[in-house]
Structure formats: C-alpha cells, structure tokens
Structure 1
Amino acid sequence: MSTALDNGARPAADDPFRGRLLDGLASSINERGYRDTTVADIVRDARTSKRTFYEQFASKEDCLIELLRRNNDILIANIVAAVDPEADWRAQVRQAVTAYVDHISARQAITLAWIREAPALGVVAHPLHRTAMEHLTDMLVDLSDNPGFRRADLAPISRPLALIILGGLRELTALLLEDGRDLREIIEPAVTASQAILGGR
C-alpha cells in the first residue's frame, strides 16, 4: 500500500499511533474514498481504537488535513530530489513534471482528496491549501533560480506565474483522475505550458 507517509517521511518524534492512524486513513481512502470513510474504518485499518483516534485527532477532517499536509511535503521533496540543477532548464522542467506524475500516480485517491475533498471542508482546510500552494510556489521559484536557468539568462519565475502553472496542473490532474485516464497524459501539456511560461518571459 502506498500512503502519504512513505519514504521515511514520518517524523522521528511522531507518536506511533498517530502514524498508524494516518496510514489507516490513507488505506481507507484508497479503498473507499474519503467521503465513505468513517472513523471506524480508520481505526480498523490502523488496528487501534476510537479512543486512541480521538487522543490524536479532533475529527476525521483533522486527520485528513494532517495526511494531506504530509503528502504535500513528500511531493515537494520528491520533485526537488528529481531535478538536476546543472541540467538544461528544459530538461529540468521535464524532470520536475515527471516526478510530479510519479508521485500522484502512486497516490491517486489521496491526490483527488487533496484537490476535490479538502476544499469542501471549508475554512478548516483553508490553512492547508494556503500553505501547500505557498510551499509549491516557493519550490518553483527556487528551482528556476539555479545554474541551468541562469545559463539560459532566465530570471526566477514570479510567484503569480508559478501559481498559474500550479493551478492549471491541479485541475488537469483532477480531471484525469476523475475520468480514470492515464496520468502520463499530464506530462507533455505540462512540460509545454511550463516551458512556454518559463522561457517566454
């Protein structure tokens, strides 16, 4: 099972029950979807109790927000690790997009919960969304300010343009996930659009 807590991302000081509950939620989302997941499903998959759940999280929504926050942190780390800052800037764009697609392909239900379910939680999820977009924007700005980009005389991308790229990518991702299509279809349009924006300034 791939969860948002793969790759050793769980903090060393994390309560083991908290990690198990997040894994339980990830497992239930993969199996049932977020809307049909109950706290009973989470604790059953985590092999723990409702009492333990409520010692760690105020609600199912609170648990989801923490799961998505960690998943977004791993997404950013995976993209940064995949990009060679010395490579030609066009190659870097393809590396970043491919790493994004690899990550979401392994976490399709969790990705869709991030894009479609979390906003429906209302104001409680607003900090998650803002923080995720800020961190993703920071990542794009940082990635476009490295030797490969500087050799091409390209300035770092502006934050508004980075947000435009991210917003379009999120919507395309959601549409392909909802239609059950091959997520590799994201790669070429995302690379083309990103290269056009990054290289055309």
Structure 2
Amino acid sequence: MPRMKAPSMVTNDTTSELHEHRSRLLQAMAGVSASKGVAAATIADIVREAGVSKRTFYEHFDCKETCFLALYRLTSASALRTLREAVQPDRPWQTQVEHALDAYFAHLAAGPGLVGTLFVEIHHLGSEGLRVRREVMAQFADFVLETVNGGPDSGGVPLSQVLTPTMALAAVGGINELVMLAIERGEVDRLQELTPCASAVVRLLTRADAA
C-alpha cells in the first residue's frame, strides 16, 4: 500500500503572509537605516516601522545586520536588472554600455535616501559586509564583461575578448567611487550626469586591455 504523503503545514496563505512580512521588514530597514544609520538602528525601531512583532522579525532574520544585507542584495539585484533590461544587443557595445549606465544612474537617482544609505552603510558592517559587497560588485563586473565581449564593436563585428575580468572589476570599482562622490556632495539627483564619464572609464580600460 503506497505511503500517504504528510500534508504540508505551509499553505499558500502562510507563504504569502511570510513574504509580506519579509517585504515590510526590508522596507522598514530601508527607512530606519536611512534616518538613523545601521549602527544606531534597533530591532525595536524596525519592527515598529514594519508594524510586526519582534518574533516575526526573528522568523526572517537573526539580527539587524542580516536584515540590512538582505536589503543590500535585493536593491543591488534590482539595479542589475535595470542594467540588463537596458541592453540593446544589436547595437555596438560602446552604445550598449552608455545606454545601460544611463538607465542605472536614473534608477539610483529615483531613491536618493536609500542609495546614500546602501553605498555608505555597507562599509560599516565588517567582514560580512565586505564579503557581500564584493559579491555584488562581481555580479556587476560580470555584466560589464558580458556586455562588452558579447556585443559587436562600432563596426558591427562580434568580439570575443576585449575586456578581461580584472579590468571589468576595475571599471565597476571606478564607477562605484563616482557614485560615492556624488553622495558625499549631495548630488544623487544628478547621477545621470556621470554617464559620459562612467562610459569613458569602461572604454579606456578596454583599450588598456587591448594594448
């Protein structure tokens, strides 16, 4: 006689509720960290903002730092998705990069408070923050690498190896510093003005690879 499978204790309603609670906690983390910084934020602040209990918080995260890192990963994934959606595969890679970066900067400028928090606060989370930041930067470097090496050059000729992984990471690091400078100057709303300079960084490092 076949064995009966035990009924799942997690219903669709339960799953939906868990997802909603996690989303509310991440939104609360964004608001609290933007106003107070991660160091000064407390779990009490976060759950009050989210409108949930501390028990609910601990069902999703073991500490406020874990919550912030989840927020960092989520928002970084959203920004990377914006970059990928802006790619125009039939265009020269130089045009693709410029178009994608312009969309990326517009995406960041739409949430100035959150951008400032994420780019700055991640540096205050010790070795785990550094690890996650490196992880995210590697993902962005992979995007640059794929876009440049996978697209045609300005003459329409497909390229096989124009940019190396090291130079792609250097490009992402340079662009990241440009964003940090804009944050320090209070110019997040003008991030799209960085598009020509950021595009030039990629082109110059590509030429450095080819030299």
Q: Give your verdict on TM over 0.5.
A: yes
Q: 1:147–1:99: structure 2 CA closer, same or farther, 3 Å change rule? A: same
2:96 matches 1:92: yes
Identity over aligned residues, as a percent? 29
Q: AA paired with 1:151?
A: G
Report the RMSD for the aligned CA atoms in angstroms. 2.4
Q: Please, which of 63, 69, 94 is the counterpart of residue 65 of structure 1?
A: 69
Q: Which residue of 2 aligns with 1:196?
A: 204
**1:5 alignment partner in structure 2:** none
Query: What aligned pairs does 1:133-172 form with structure 2 within 5 A after superposition?
Result: 133-149=137-153, 151-152=156-157, 154=159, 155-172=161-178
CA distance in 2 between counterparts of 1:187 and 1:97 reads 6
Moved over 4 A (4+): 11-14
Q: Which position in structure 2 is the counterpart of 1:4?
A: none
Three-state SS of the structure 2 residue aligned to 1:151 is coil
- The AA in structure 1 aligned to 2:33 is I
For residues 95-136 of structure 1, the C-alpha deviation after alignment (integer angstroms, 9 at most, x for no partner) is: 121122012112333333333221221122233122112211
Instruction: Give the equivalent residue in structure 1 for 2:193.
Output: 185
Structure 1 unaligned residues grouped into runs of 5+ = 1-10
Secondary structure of 1:15's partner? helix
Q: Which stretches in structure 2 are left out of the alignment for 5+ residues? A: 1-14
The correspondence of residues 1-201 of structure 1 with structure 2, limited to 5 A, is: 15-149=19-153, 151-152=156-157, 154=159, 155-181=161-187, 182-199=190-207, 201=210
- Structure 1 residue 162 displacement after superposition: 0.6
Bigger mean CA deviation after superposition, 31-40 or 94-103: 31-40
The answer on whether the counterparts of 1:104 and 1:111 sit within 8 Å (CA) in structure 2 is yes
Per the TM alignment, residue 30 of structure 1 is displaced from its structure 2 partner at its CA by 3.7
* SS at structure 2 position matched to 1:64: helix
- Bigger Rg over Cα: 2
> How many residues matched?
191
Alpha-carbon contact 2:97-2:147 (below 8 Å) kept: no
Deviations 1:122-176 (A, max 9, x none): 1222331221122111111111233434834543421110111111111111111
Q: Following the alignment from structure 1 to structure 2, what is the Cα–Cα distance between the partners of residues 54 and 14?
A: 12
* TM-score, length of structure 2 as denominator length: 0.80
The separation in 1 between residues aligned to 2:205 and 2:177, in whole angstroms, is 18
| In structure 2, distance between residues paired with 1:14 and 1:33 | 26
Q: Which residue of 1 aligns with 2:5?
A: none
* 3-state SS of paired residue (2:118): helix
